[in-house]
Structure 1
């Protein structure tokens, strides 16, 4: 934790100092049961804590990571599918995948989150990627 802000916390990811990172107050567990952690509930500046990468964006340099400190996210991370809108599990063994979308025209990229099936059924019927999407990252 490098500094407290009105919206959350600025952080550094150890070993990835070239990536900007932050934690929004809405993804910090609040002992007072508020939907957003209160500033006094933030981990102290200088603390090292476990976190889950919620989003990674590379629209422009440097890349930016949004992290979650919620205990439930550390156990099983869910994010809304960009195709159907319902949550998909992105933790190991989950039903979700993320795609890094880049242009051949220049720098920058974005990420798309999807259920494996939501993505697979949108690919051309003859695409070999349908089968790969259904199995990528899974143990054989």
Structure 2
């Protein structure tokens, strides 16, 4: 039990490079706190979107919903890219549970925000049948 208490607490910053722009941003407390703020605002926005946006596809939603969704997707993609570049060894990101979790969230955000939009525009239709309503995925 004593050894477990003496074990150093995990800190992802120890896996980051010692020099470079990405590690400087990723280790910066302002970047970290701003990211927490964006997550907080995003959680509120999800509730606003669910209550006020009746369109299942982002491309058909009112412009405010599109702009805000693109902002969140862009910011979270940027944040994940900065953290990925900051790792000394890219293999270390596989061992960081938060990085993996965030990567899945960003992947699904990119799919919903950008990939589905491109598919819909390329198909020349405003309907996509992927076996159900895509709006249900946005709640997770």
Q: TM-score, normalised on structure 1?
A: 0.27
The structure richer in helix per residue is 2
The structure richer in strand per residue is 1
Could you say which structure has the larger radius of gyration?
2
Q: TM-score, normalised on structure 2?
A: 0.27
